[in-house]
Structure formats: structure tokens, C-alpha cells
Structure 1
């Protein structure tokens, strides 16, 4: 029953701190730990004294007088004089009471546990045994609890594992629903956007003449886009296709924030550790589009005297081409 209980304890702690590990990895780790000579039931020494620090199978240091010390009946054999030495040697601490009483020490200890678990997954070996073995062999030095640097292959294995995790996260971000800034070309389907219009007075009096100084059928916009990709990889490249939605931040003609919204289909390309770029084609709707009032056109006569009376805002749609990238 005890091996089964220890397996579940190791599984819960390990998956909490390193959720990407598989259950098979955890099972191997738990089994390996229980089969080590350096690991066993804690007993008193020849003087009838309990160890100052108990080091559990979860790599946590429990000092005398703490909550979990009496509950930890087995663990790694060690010669630590206090929990500070245990943490300095590369091990962790339980959340209670250290997370509130000594946050600096607890933060260091939490990082130690993360590194130990990462090293274990990367190398397939129990890193605690190597650290404790190093401490025991260094007992004749002035500082016996100083841990020798990890072997180069272990450090490299840890770094490779971290890079793999980062790559996995970046690959997920590439296809995930994230907001990104995008440069967008808008082509309107309908009347032109009136940027400048005047009313020229008639020298003989009477109605004035409408004079359109500038009208545009296209404009550039800065927008936020979010997409979802169904992706696949080939070599060092990752590809994705899927839908996108977008909303405007600013436009060339000074439209109000959020007045242009669009949807469409997008294609994405990502090169590992270099860049990713996306291009989309879709339909947009501009709710802040300014045109001449119905029935009016350049050169018509009008009884209006204020040119702003010639303009009306309406919803106009069109084709959009969107580009976003990260380097």
C-alpha cells in the first residue's frame, strides 16, 4: 500500500510543477526513487536523535518543528543541519509556512524543485542522488554543503528541454487565438470617401456649386487581428490556415477607433526562432464612412452654404488585405 501511496504523492506534485510530463514518466520516476539505497525510512541515529532535516521524495526539505516533519516518515538520507543548507544544496520547501514567512527563500526553493524535475525528465536519472552523493564526497571540505556544478551533459539536457518547452509554446501561440497588430489595405465597394469638399459661390448670386477637392476609394489602416490556425509542419517551417477577425485602431482618413471591422481567411508561415508572418483576405465594414448626400455629386448646384451639410456618414463595405508579422 505504501508504494502506491508514494506513487500518487509523487504524481500529484510532479504534474503540478511540471504539467507537460507524461504519467509514464512520473511512474518511472516514482519507481526509481523507491529502489534507491539512499532512500528509505527515517530512523534515529546512535544517540537516539532524529535527523535535523527530512528530504522527501518530492525534493522538499522539512526541518524539525515544521508541520510536515513528523508526517515525513521516509525520504533521502542527508546530513543537512537546517533547511537553509538544504535549499542551498538545490532542494525545495513546502509552501506552508515558508511562502508567507520567508518568500525569498521559498522562491529560491521553488526554482530548485522546477530545475530538479526538469533535469529528471531530461536525463532519466534522479538528480537528488547525484547532489547528495556530491555533498557526501565533499564532506572533508570547509563547506561540505556546497554542490559541485552539474555535469555539462546534464546542463545541456536541461537547456534542450527548456528550449523544447519554449518551442512548443511558440508553436501553440502561432495557431492560437491571440491579438496581433496588422497593416491593412481597404478597398471600398461603393461611393468614394469624400475627404475635401467646398461650395463655390455664384458671382451672380443664387445657388453655389459643389466642388470636391479629394475623394478616395481605398485607404490604409492599422488594425488588431486575431486568428485561429489549423497548422502543420515541414522541416523548420510551420504553416497554418484559418479564419481571422479584426478591428481598427486608426485609419489613413482618421476614422474613429473601432469603426472598421473585418473577417476573412488567413494563411500563416512561421520559421523557428526567426519570424512568423500572416496574410489574410476578407470583407470589412466601415461604420464611419463619409460621402456626399444621396443625389449629390461633384459639379451640382446646391442651396447649402455650409459644406459640412453636404456630407453624411454611412456604412460601407469592401475588400480587405491584411498583413501581420513578428520577428
Structure 2
């Protein structure tokens, strides 16, 4: 019975390796194809757990609580992962990583002959919280990329509209020409909403609400108001582009002003002590030699 955790851990590692190899060879279409766009945005360390996640997802189905599923879906939308990843799949992935943490804790407790309860709880919680931390960091990165890249996208959008294109045609041009990123995926989702029969203004507003970024919400509200009032879309887009460019310039100035303050910490705790050590050690050495003589 004492060898049970080690044997179970070895069997789990063998099963994980077999599932990974099977996924690489056969590419299960039920989960691999919907996740194909999202796989490129995942850390490489998460990808081997797709095989166990597929099994857990099949067992889990749609049994998630509605509130928890809506909360996870909202976070996945903000992280630009939702079209290829739903709440059940994300929960299955986190669960497979947490199970791997449990077996890793069992291996360590078996090797070092220590009680297994606390390490199992710590490792499983750390694995799950690590997934959530990665998702939170990706949400912040997506928001930062959107705020940074929106002015040039709006300039291109304005040029297309002023050249005679409709909003849908301009969004399609951006999707075809722009590099992969959150803003390109935003316009792609808007196009999908329009193809599904939704009004253009409603599509912009709905997708902007899903991303939860203030500048996208302001753009969607301005476009909806312009279409309702019959205003010039090109002029509204140009005004939005100028406002976003001004905000980006102000934000860059603020970050430049914060740079000296942020440098004080490394300067005081790292550079100054090293300088004092470099100056004080030779002086102390010579003083000690002088006192000895």
C-alpha cells in the first residue's frame, strides 16, 4: 500500500504520454479542430495536456453551473480565446493540469517519504491558479495590444470608408490584410456577427461589450450613433482616430514621467550598494593591512 502513490503516478505519466502521442498522431477532430485557432495563443507547456483535457471534456459535457460557465466565457472572450475555446474545454484543461499537479505531489511524497495530504492540496491548487493567472495575464496583454494598436487600425478603417467602402467591406479588408492579433480578431468577429444577420452597429456594440475594452466600446457607440443619426461615418472614424492617437500620446508621456520613479528602486537597492561595495572593499583591505603593520 505504501507503493501505491508511486505506482499510480507512473501509470498516470505513461497514460499522459500515450494520450499526447495519440493526439499528435490522430488529431481528434471533436476537440482539436475547434481549438486549432486558440492553440497558437497557448503556452507550449499547456499543449501536452490536450489529450487528458479531451477525456475530461467528454465526461464533463455541459454540466458546469450556469453562473460559473458564464463567468469563464466572459473571461475567455476578454482574452480573445472564446471562438475556439468554451468554458467546458477551459475547465477540462485546468482540471487536467491540476490532476498532473496531484500526481507530481504524490511522486515527491513517495520519494521523500512524507505525508501526502498537504503537498497534494498545494500542488493541485497551484496548478489551477497558474492557469487562471495565465488567463488574467493574457486578458491584460490583449487590452494593452488593443489600446496600443487601435489608432493605426482606425486610420486604415477611415481611409477605406472615405474611399467609398462600406463598414463591412472595410472590416473585411482589415481582416484580410492585418496581422494576427486581438484587433484583427475583433473585426473578424464583427463580420461573423453581420453574416449571422445582426445589424452592423449592433455587431460592433456586441463584440465590443464582449472584449470589455473602453476604447472599443466608445468606437462602437460612436458608430451606432452615427448610423442612427445619419452622420458621416468617415468623419466619425477620423474623429475617433484622432482621439485615440491623442490618448496614446498622453499615455506615453505618463509612462515616460513614471520611468525615473520606477528606476529609483533598482538604483537604491542594487546599483548604490554595489558601488559602495566596490569602493569600500579595497579601502577596508588597505586599512586592515595598515593596522597589521
Normalising by the residue count of structure 2, what TM-score does the alignment of the two structures yield? 0.29
- Higher RCO, Cα 8 Å, sep 6+: 2
Greater Rg by CA: 1
Q: As a proportion of its length, which structure holds more strand? A: 1
